[in-house]
């Protein structure tokens, strides 16, 4: 079962990043600018964030095996449509279909792990699953670069179809079945309020990126805030809200979600920025740019065996506080790179970045569960995944906006200059997450400490 969940995490992470290396090639084929491709990236992860809250109810109503199988089917269908897209709007629409399927893969997988694995082994299990997710996110750019350079960019989507077929076969045999005899009523009103607020926030960001009118930007933002406030009020009056905000009373939960938000807001656009820097700023081929992600995979995997030991020795608070500062420093240090920087030095930067981010992701993703009873596992999984992808969509949009804002000219030198200043700003944003993690009380892996607010 753990290998099926790991494979799903790998496939989803692969598809979240495989487009990055192919951005210049797809932009050229669709006759749009590289930075305008951010819509194809953000539409996918925003769809994940919006529809992930449905996953607990779907599991309770239809069962984990049926929901997981349906998610794989829709994901594969969306991939097929992406491979057939002829324009950017068609590609964006197809990515939304992909997101509808992908929205259930990670939360259902996490929920099954929480229900099936002893809490003392949970960090180790999540480390295994997270390793596959990291491999997918790292080898996505590599595979995307190879396919673009030697075949056609459409294959980066079409390869998901046979993988999905294999996943369906494994799902019938390996996935355990968990469901309730009588599911609660779905919170349709709460879902619509949350979805509307999230979409309007991203529309405001997209309008900024297209030099939209200030009145339109303010209108989207105010409407998003208004719907968000209405959702908070609604959730307090609803017995079974789509996202149970009462879980935020647990200190480790709200710190995990808020820390995830600010950390990913700073780091989620790094793949896209690095690819643009290497391909346009430095003149690298798509394959060479993709190969530069391999050191990140090595860095990620190299620290995995030590994560549980580090969490046991230092606890979540000290480890996340120190590592978040390290992530910020590493991000800012990318500003030192130039087109003349030797490849091995760039590879060293990427390796260190992979190591610190591996530790960061695993610690953040397991923190939300350490003080919760198993009956809250599905909701916590949904909220954690929602926060993750919501911040990823805004992080990609923010990185694109920064790159576009600092881009004085659309030549190689302009992209190098924009990359340098963008990573410095993103590093400063990531540093804000260190204050959030400082609000933790000492909580060590495998040991519950009073963590309620």
Instruction: Provide the residue-wise pLDDT of the chain in tens; the chain has 453 residues.
Output: 676 777 777 777 777 677 778 888 888 888 888 888 888 888 888 888 888 778 777 887 888 888 888 988 999 999 999 999 999 999 999 999 998 888 888 778 777 777 777 666 666 777 777 777 767 776 777 787 888 888 888 988 888 888 888 888 888 877 777 776 666 778 889 889 988 888 887 777 777 656 556 777 788 889 989 998 998 888 888 877 877 787 777 787 888 888 888 898 889 888 889 988 999 889 988 888 888 878 887 888 888 888 888 888 888 888 899 999 999 999 999 999 999 999 999 999 999 999 999 899 888 877 877 766 666 766 777 777 777 778 888 888 888 888 888 887 778 888 899 999 999 999 999 998 888 888 887 655 544 333 333
**Rounded distance, CA 378 to CA 380, Å?**
6
Q: Token match 């919501």: residue? A: 390
**Rounded distance, CA 149 to CA 171, Å?**
34
pLDDT on residue 375: 66
Coil, helix or strand at residue 32: coil
| Backbone φ, ψ for residue 452 (5° rounding) | -75, 150
Q: What contacts 24+ positions apart, CB below 8 Å, involve 23-31?
A: 23/272, 23/275, 23/276, 24/275, 24/276, 24/279, 24/280, 24/286, 25/148, 25/153, 25/286, 26/91, 26/153, 29/153, 30/86, 30/87, 30/88, 30/91
Coil, helix or strand at residue 15: helix
From 251, 245, 249, 247, select the one nearest 451 (Cα to Cα): 251
What is residue 447's DSSP assignment? B
pLDDT on residue 452: 30
Q: Which residues on adjacent β-strands are paired with residue 250?
A: 452
pLDDT on residue 448: 34
User: Do 23 and 37 form a contact (C-beta atoms < 8 A)?
Assistant: yes
| Backbone φ, ψ for residue 340 (5° rounding) | -90, -5
| Backbone φ, ψ for residue 444 (5° rounding) | -105, 155
Residues with Cβ within 8 Å of 170's Cβ and at least 6 positions away in sequence, in order, are 4, 7
Radius of gyration of the chain from Cα atoms? 21
**Rounded distance, CA 407 to CA 49, Å?**
30
Decide: residue 288, CB within 10 A, 0-12 exposed, 13-18 middle, 19+ buried.
middle
Cα 322 to its chain centre, rounded Å, is: 22
Distance set, CA 33 to CA 36, 267, 389, 410 (Å)? 5, 22, 25, 10
**Rounded distance, CA 252 to CA 450, Å?**
10
Helices (H), 151-187: 155-158, 160-174
From 12, 155, 139, select the one nearest 74 (Cα to Cα): 12
Token pair for residue 10? 């790998």
Decide: residue 210, CB within 10 A, 0-12 exposed, 13-18 middle, 19+ buried.
exposed
| Backbone φ, ψ for residue 447 (5° rounding) | -140, 125
Q: Which residues on adjacent β-strands are paired with residue 452?
A: 250
Residues with Cβ within 8 Å of 347's Cβ and at least 6 positions away in sequence, in order, are 292, 295
Q: What is the largest CA-CA distance in the chain?
A: 63
Tell whether the torsion through CA atoms of 366, 104, 81 and 195 is positive or negative: negative
pLDDT on residue 346: 94
Stated as kind and residue range, the H or E segment containing 370 is none
pLDDT on residue 63: 84
| Backbone φ, ψ for residue 35 (5° rounding) | -70, -25
User: Do 62 and 181 form a contact (C-beta atoms < 8 A)?
Assistant: no
**Rounded distance, CA 126 to CA 19, Å?**
26
User: Do 300 and 357 form a contact (C-beta atoms < 8 A)?
Assistant: yes
């Amino acid at each position: 079962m753990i290998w099926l969940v790991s494979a799903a995490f790998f496939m989803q992470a692969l598809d979240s990043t495989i487009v990055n290396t192919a951005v210049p090639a797809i932009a050229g084929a669709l006759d749009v600018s590289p930075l305008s491709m951010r819509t194809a990236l953000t539409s996918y992860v925003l769809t994940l964030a919006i529809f992930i809250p449905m996953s607990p109810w779907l599991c309770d109503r239809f069962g984990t095996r049926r929901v997981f199988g349906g998610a794989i089917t829709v994901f594969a269908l969306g991939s097929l449509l992406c491979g057939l897209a002829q324009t950017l709007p068609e590609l964006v629409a197809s990515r939304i279909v992909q997101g509808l399927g992908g929205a259930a893969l990670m939360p259902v997988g996490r929920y099954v792990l929480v229900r099936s694995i002893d809490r003392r082994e949970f960090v180790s299990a999540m480390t295994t699953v997270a390793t596959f997710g990291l491999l997918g996110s790292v080898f996505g750019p590599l595979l995307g670069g190879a396919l673009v350079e030697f075949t056609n960019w459409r294959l980066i989507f079409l390869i998901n179809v046979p993988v999905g077929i294999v996943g369906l076969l494994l799902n019938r045999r390996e996935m355990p079945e968990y469901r309730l005899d009588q599911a609660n009523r779905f919170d349709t009103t709460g879902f619509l309020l949350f979805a509307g607020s999230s979409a309007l926030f991203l529309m405001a960001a997209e309008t900024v990126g297209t030099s939209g009118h200030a009145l339109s930007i303010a209108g989207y933002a105010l409407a998003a805030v208004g719907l968000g406030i209405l959702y908070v009020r609604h959730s307090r009056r609803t017995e079974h809200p789509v996202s149970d905000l009462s879980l935020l009373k647990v200190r480790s939960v709200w710190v995990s979600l808020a820390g995830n938000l600010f950390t990913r807001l700073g780091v989620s656009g790094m793949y896209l920025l690095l690819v643009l820097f290497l391909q346009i700023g430095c003149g690298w081929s798509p394959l060479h740019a993709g190969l530069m992600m391999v050191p990140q995979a090595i860095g990620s995997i190299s620290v995995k065996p030590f994560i549980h030991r580090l969490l046991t020795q230092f606890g979540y608070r000290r480890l996340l506080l120190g590592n978040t500062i390290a992530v910020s420093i590493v991000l800012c240090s990318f500003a030192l790179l130039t087109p003349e920087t030797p490849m091995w030095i760039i590879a060293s930067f990427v390796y260190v970045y992979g190591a610190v981010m591996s530790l960061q992701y695993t610690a953040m993703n397991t923190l939300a569960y350490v003080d919760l009873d198993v009956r809250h596992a599905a909701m916590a999984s949904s909220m954690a995944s929602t926060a993750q992808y919501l911040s990823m969509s805004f992080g990609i949009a923010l990185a694109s906006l920064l790159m576009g804002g600092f881009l004085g000219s659309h030549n190689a030198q302009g992209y190098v200059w924009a990359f340098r200043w963008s990573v410095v700003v993103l590093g400063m944003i990531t540093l804000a997450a260190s204050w959030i993690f400082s609000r933790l009380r000492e909580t060590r892996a495998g040991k519950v400490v009073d963590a309620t607010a």
